[in-house]
């Protein structure tokens, strides 16, 4: 696929994964896309943990399952954990700004690059903001005060996206204008 807009429109939150295993080199390519994302002062305030070990994967999936939501994560073949790292800003701007002022935006860009690369490789992804942070820290041997951003469930889609289910988005005129 060569057209970026087509790729952006095609990506969707996949909540129905097949049993097909995901190749490690594809996961590495998705991580590489995330690594190449831009960041404020090029601080790259991220760390990525790719969970693929079946037992750990099952446990990590469970941390996302609350309030009857996110049952689909049990069928993911990998779950990416995106950690927010300390951002070292350029010495000139550091005294003016909080170190983490750009971090969430940086991490969002990296997460989307990851998902778009996955889409281009035929994989499905679902970003997950709902998860039990202390439990995840325990499972991954991370500090309790670890800053998390998002998890991303990955797998092959069980079926093609239902094209009839259009992407519900605010209309162009409501969100953008030229001046
Ligand atoms: C920060 C963030 C957190 C999200 N958390 C969840 C989640 O916990 N579970 C889920 O099924 N989808 C989650 N989503 C997916 C959104 O619901 C989805 O992106 C949105 O409805 C638009 O649909 P689309 O991704 O299919 O275009 C999350 C997305 C983002 C960006």
Q: Where are the domains of the chain?
A: 18-158
Ligand 1 pocket mutation pick from 129, 130, 149, 167 by most atoms within 8 angstroms of CB:
129
Distance 128 CA to ligand 1 centre (A): 6
The DSSP secondary-structure symbol of 36 reads: T
- Pocket lining: 128 vs ligand 1, CB cutoff 6 Å: yes
- The pLDDT of residue 2 is 61
- Pocket lining: 130 vs ligand 1, CB cutoff 6 Å: yes
Ligand 1 pocket mutation pick from 128, 133, 148 by most atoms within 8 angstroms of CB:
128
- Dist. CA 116–CA 165, nearest whole Å: 19
For residues 164 and 158, the answer to whether their CB atoms sit within 8 Å is no
Nearest atom in ligand 1 to 131's CA:
8
- Pocket lining: 167 vs ligand 1, CB cutoff 6 Å: yes
- Dist. CA 23–CA 78, nearest whole Å: 10
Distance 80 CA to ligand 1 centre (A): 15
Q: How high is the mean pLDDT in each 10-residue block of the chain (179 residues)?
A: 87 96 98 98 98 98 97 98 97 96 98 98 98 98 97 94 76 97
Q: What six digits make up the tokens of 109? A: 């860009």
Q: What six digits make up the tokens of 159? A: 């079926």
Distance 57 CA to ligand 1 centre (A): 20
Contacts of residue 176, defined as CB under 8 A and 6 or more positions apart, other chains included, come to: none
46-51 β-sheet, strand order: 46-51, 78-84, 148-155, 124-128
- Pocket lining: 65 vs ligand 1, CB cutoff 6 Å: no
Domain 18-158 has CATH 3.40.109.10: yes
Contacts of residue 45, defined as CB under 8 A and 6 or more positions apart, other chains included, come to: 39, 84, 85, 86, 87, 100, 102, 103, 106, 107
- The pLDDT of residue 165 is 65
Nearest atom in ligand 1 to 64's CA:
8
- Dist. CA 134–CA 140, nearest whole Å: 10
């Amino acid at each position: 696929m060569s057209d970026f807009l087509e790729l952006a429109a095609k990506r969707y939150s996949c909540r129905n994964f097949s049993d097909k295993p995901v190749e490690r080199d594809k996961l590495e390519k998705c991580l590489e896309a995330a690594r190449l994302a831009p960041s404020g002062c090029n601080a790259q305030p991220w760390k990525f943990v790719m969970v693929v070990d079946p037992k750990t994967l099952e446990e990590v999936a469970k941390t996302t399952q609350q309030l009857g939501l996110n049952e689909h994560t049990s069928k993911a073949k990998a779950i990416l954990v995106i950690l927010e790292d300390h951002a070292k800003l350029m010495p000139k701007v550091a005294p003016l700004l909080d170190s983490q002022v750009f971090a969430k935006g940086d991490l969002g860009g990296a997460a989307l690059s990851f998902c778009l690369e996955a889409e281009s490789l035929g994989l499905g992804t679902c970003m997950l903001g709902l998860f039990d942070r202390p439990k995840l820290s325990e499972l991954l041997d991370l500090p309790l005060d670890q800053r998390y951003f998002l998890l991303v469930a990955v797998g092959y889609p069980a079926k093609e996206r239902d094209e009839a289910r259009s992407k519900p988005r605010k209309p162009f005129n409501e969100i953008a204008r030229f001046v």
